Amino acid sequence: MNALSEDEKRQSGLLFCPGDPELVRQKRRGHGLSREFNALGEGETARREDLLRQLFASVGEGVLITGPVYVHYGIHTSIGDHFFANFNLTIQDDARVTIGHNCNFGPNVTIVTPQHPLLPDERRQMADRDGKPVHLCYAQTVEIGDDCWFGANVVVCPGVRIGSGCVIGAGSVVTHDIPDRSVAAGNPCRVLRTLSEQDSLKYRPELLGDCSVL
C-alpha cells in the first residue's frame, strides 16, 4: 500500500507536515494572489474578479470583497453567490471552507481550520513515518450556510458548521455548531434565540422612512 502524501493526509483530517514542499508551493500561490488582489484599486472590478476566481476553488455571481484579503491556500475555499466581505477577511483554509449564498461579513472576520497539538513538546516536534522529527498539525472543515450575517471581528474556529439564516454578533468566537436561523454571540459564541416574524423591519417604522418590506 502506497503511503499517503502530506496533501492527502491534510484532506483526510490526519496529522500532516505544513512545511511539505508541495503544500508550501500551494500556500505561496495563495499568498501571492492575495497580495495582487490587495494591490488593486476598488474600481478595478474586472481584474479583481479574475483574481478571486484564480484564488478560490469556486466563486459565485455578484461577489464583492472590499479587501484587503488574507488567504492561506484559497483553493480549498468555495464561495456562493452574492457574498460580501468588508475589510480584512482572513481565511486559513488548510481544510475545506464552504460559504453559502447571500452571506455578509463585517470587518475583520477570520475563518480558521488548522489545529495544533495541545502539549508543547508535541507542538514543537513529532515523528513522521520515518521517525524524522517534524512539525505537524491537522485541519478540520468549516461550513457556513446561506443568508448569514457576521458582525465585525467574528472568528470561526475549526470544525464548525453554521446553519443558514444566522446572525453572529460582533466579536464572537464560534467554537461549536450553530443551528439554522439563530442569533448567536459571545466568546465562546452561544445561541441567544431563534429568528422569528417579529424580527421583521415592518415592525420598526422608526427605521423604515420611505422604504418598505417586499
pLDDT in tens, 117-155: 999 999 999 998 889 999 999 999 999 999 999 999 999
* Mean pLDDT of the 183-206 span: 95
**What pLDDT was estimated at residue 196?**
94
pLDDT, tens digit, 9 for 90 and up, residues 23-66: 999 999 999 999 999 999 999 999 999 999 999 999 999 999 99
Domain ranges of the chain: 6-208
Q: What's the grid cell of residue 165?
A: 439564516
76 is catalytic: no
| Nearest CA among 180, 177, 184, 181 for reference residue 154 | 184
**pLDDT tier at 89, thresholds 50, 70, 90:** very high
- State the catalytic residue, choosing from 31, 116, 135, 176: 116
Decide if pLDDT at 2 tops 90.
Answer: no
pLDDT of residue 17: 96
Arithmetic mean of pLDDT, 182-190: 98
Residue 1: its pLDDT value, please? 57
**Angstrom distance (rounded) from CA 113 to CA 165:** 22
The answer to whether the predicted template modeling score (pTM) of the entire model surpasses 0.85 is yes
Per DSSP, helices labelled H in the chain are 6-12, 21-39, 45-55, 120-124, 205-208
Dihedral sign computed on CA atoms, order 168, 173, 174, 178: negative
Residue whose cell numbers read 444566522: 166
Q: What is the mean pLDDT of residues 78-82?
A: 98
What fold is seen in the domain 6-208?
Answer: UDP N-Acetylglucosamine Acyltransferase; domain 1 (2.160.10)
- Kindly state the percentage of the chain with pLDDT values over 70: 100
- Residue 6, pLDDT > 90, answer yes
Mean pLDDT of 154-169: 98
